[in-house]
Every structure is written in structure tokens, then in C-alpha cells.
Structure 1
Amino acid sequence: MSSASLKTIQSHSTRTTPMPRYTMLAVLPCLLFASVVPAQADEHTQPMLKRLAGVWEVEEGMNQGEEIPEKELEGTIMKIEKNMIVTYDREQREVYRALFTLDETKKPVHIDMTTEMKGMPPMKSFGIIKMEEGDEFEICYALPGADRPKEFKSPKGSKVMLFEAERED
């Protein structure tokens, strides 16, 4: 823009004081940054509890070192809401219910579960959990009375369960 054009613009704007150039330069990066930051936080920066909420289809499983046949897992889903996890078999019968807490300060994230099954006393299980790329997660936990696993494995003869699930909803 020519200096004559600037003078013309400035002479027509007698009601307001023009913004000094150094102020414009200071504001410009803020405006540029604001235009590229997404309105909502990325889903992977949200707390895991919020990311876990929903319905999950169990894709693979290990029971104390033994692979659970795909045919047996078919139709098995987990519903996670707030601090409750409920697992249903293919006939929609409840097979597991537990209250849980997460400790995201631990790596991998720790999950502590307390069963809430009718006719059974509450039992505690300690495990680890991680979100995978996309809409998948893995959960690895010890049966009541056993120590929390340190890695996502279910060795033969262990008292460790391992499941992989994919978001259904």
C-alpha cells in the first residue's frame, strides 16, 4: 500500500486512534495461533476415563495363558460408563460387572476393579490398560489375589487375563 493511501485512510478515521505498528505485530501471532488451534481438545488428550466411555466389542482374549477361541468371544461386548464396566456374552447375559478406578499417573495406566456381581462377594483385581490407535484398547489384569501385571501378556499358568477391544458405537 502506498504512503498516500495510508494517509488517506488515516485522515478518514478521525474517530479512532490508529493502532501502533508494534501493537499490531504483537497481536498478529495470537490471531494466527488462534486460527489453527482446534476448538475441542484432541481425543487423545482427554482423560482416559472419558475416552473409554461407550460400547466395546471384545476382539481377542487370553485366559491365564490360553487363547480364548474367537468363536467363544464372538458377540461379547463391554459397556463402560463413568466408573463401571459391564461385560455381556453374545446372548446379552451379564457375565462381569465391576466398579473401577484409573491411575493415569502410572505408565502403563493402572486400573483397579472391584466386582459387583449378584450373589458374589466383592473381589479386587488389579491391572493395566492402554488405548491403541483409533478406537481400540487393551486391558490386562490379574485374577483376585494375584499381583498386578507389569506388561500386556498372559503367560501360560499365570493368573492373568488379557483382552483387546474395539469401539462398537
Structure 2
Amino acid sequence: MSRYSMFAVLPCLVFASIVPAQGDEHTQPLLKRLAGVWDVEEGVNQGEEIPEDELEGTIMKIEKNMIITYDREKREVYRALFTVDETKKPVQIDMTTEMKGMPPMKSLGIIQMEEGDEFELCYALPGADRPKEFQSPKGSKVMLFEAERED
């Protein structure tokens, strides 16, 4: 997969809008914790580890109900709206792309906050089933990313 393709998929996970269900106060704490700028530290693309030098400088910006991914040159490579369902274990995330020139595509995933200011995002490429575990096996259509809050 080319670097551009990988980043086009990354935003599908990362650049989504956060839209809580009406009146569902259970999503507020996670949404509040996700707001901000995140450095993408590690990634696995369909079972293949993404080299650190390819991820270097990649950030995710999450604000209100949108997630946007930027490459090291600060070019927007992905944008998506998303919803989270904290009543599910692990927490489920649904992302829909909002990219100019691209049709909306939906990806289903799971997300978890880690110790400190880190989170893991694991999602299936559009059309594939939601992952059940934070893994991206070889040959799967699953992406896995770890991000740390920017200082």
C-alpha cells in the first residue's frame, strides 16, 4: 500500500467527527478526553507494521465532532465524522469520511484510552466487519494505531 493510501485509510479512523447520541451523558467523558492534538506513535496496516519514519510527524486533531489527520508536511490527509458508543465493551467507534472529492465511506472500529494521555484505535476498512480485539492480523482489513497527546 502506498504511503498516500495508508494515510488515506488512517484518517478514516482518526479523522472522524465525534457526535454523541442525544442525551447520552456516558459518551461525554471519552469525547472530552479525546479532544486535542495527538501524535501517531505506532501503526499496523492489515498486519504489516508501518515504519516509524513513515509515521513521524503524523498528527490527529480531534475537536467537537471531527477528526482530522495531517502528515509531516501539515497537509490534511484525512477527515471524518464519528460517533462513539461507550455502552459497548470495548467502546465502539463509527467513522464516516468527509474528504473533498471522495464519496463518504464508513469504517467500524473500537477505541480505548490507555494510561496517561494515550489511546488505541482499531478499525476495519470500509465494508469489513468491526474488529473485536485491538489487533491487525496479517491479511486482515484492519488498521491499528496508537496515539499520544502532543505536548
**Distance in structure 2 (CA, Å) of the matches to 1:101 and 1:71:** 30
Equivalent residue, structure 2, for 1:85:
67
Match of 1:51 among 33, 37, 44: 33
- TM value normalised by structure 2: 0.81
Which digits, 9 at most, give the CA deviation of each residue in 1:105-138, with x for residues without a partner?
Answer: 0011000000000100000000000000000000
1:89 is displaced (CA, Å) by 0.3
Give, as a single letter, the amino acid of the residue that structure 2 aligns with 1:64. Q
Give, as a single letter, the amino acid of the residue that structure 2 aligns with 1:79. K
Equivalent residue, structure 1, for 2:98:
116
How many residue pairs get aligned? The number is 125
Question: Are positions 1:128 and 2:110 aligned together?
Answer: yes
**Distance in structure 1 (CA, Å) of the matches to 2:88 and 2:77:** 29
Structure of higher CA gyration radius: 1
Give, as a single letter, the amino acid of the residue that structure 2 aligns with 1:93. R
Equivalent residue, structure 1, for 2:88:
106
Structure with greater helix share of residues: 1
Q: Which runs of 5+ in 1 are unaligned?
A: 1-45
Structure with greater strand share of residues: 2
Classify the secondary structure of the residue corresponding to 1:48.
helix
- CA-based RMSD of the aligned residues comes to 1.2
Give, as a single letter, the amino acid of the residue that structure 2 aligns with 1:55. V
Moved over 2 A (4+): none
**Distance in structure 2 (CA, Å) of the matches to 1:83 and 1:150:** 24
**Distance in structure 1 (CA, Å) of the matches to 2:72 and 2:100:** 20
Question: Are positions 1:64 and 2:46 aligned together?
Answer: yes
**Distance in structure 2 (CA, Å) of the matches to 1:146 and 1:122:** 15
Classify the secondary structure of the residue corresponding to 1:138.
strand
**Distance in structure 1 (CA, Å) of the matches to 2:62 and 2:31:** 9
Q: What's the % identity of the aligned pairs?
A: 90
Give, as a single letter, the amino acid of the residue that structure 2 aligns with 1:149. P
**Distance in structure 2 (CA, Å) of the matches to 1:96 and 1:69:** 19
**Distance in structure 1 (CA, Å) of the matches to 2:58 and 2:124:** 20
Match of 1:164 among 126, 130, 146: 146
Higher relative contact order (CA 8 A, sep 6+): 2
